[in-house]
Amino acid sequence: MILLKSARELGHMNIRVNAIAPGATATPRTVADAGWEDGWAAAIPMRRVAQGADVAGAALFLLSDEAAHVTGQSLVIDGGWTARGAVPDGRSGVSTENRRRDSRGSVMPVCLSGVLREARR
- Residue 3: in which H helix or E strand, if any? helix 2-10
Superfamily of domain 2-120: NAD(P)-binding Rossmann-like Domain (3.40.50.720)
Q: Summarize pLDDT for 50-61 with one digit per residue, the tens.
A: 999 999 999 999
Q: What percent of the chain has pLDDT over 90?
A: 59
Alpha carbon distance 98, 79 (integer Å): 19
All structural domains of the chain with their residue ranges: 2-120
The pTM assigned to this predicted structure is: 0.69
Q: Residue 72 — pLDDT band, cuts 50, 70, 90?
A: very high
CB 96 within 8 A of CB 45: no
Q: Summarize pLDDT for 10-31 with one digit per residue, the tens.
A: 999 999 999 999 999 999 999 8
For residues 97-109, give the mean pLDDT: 49
Q: Is residue 35 predicted with pLDDT exceeding 80?
A: yes
Q: Is residue 95 predicted with pLDDT exceeding 50?
A: yes
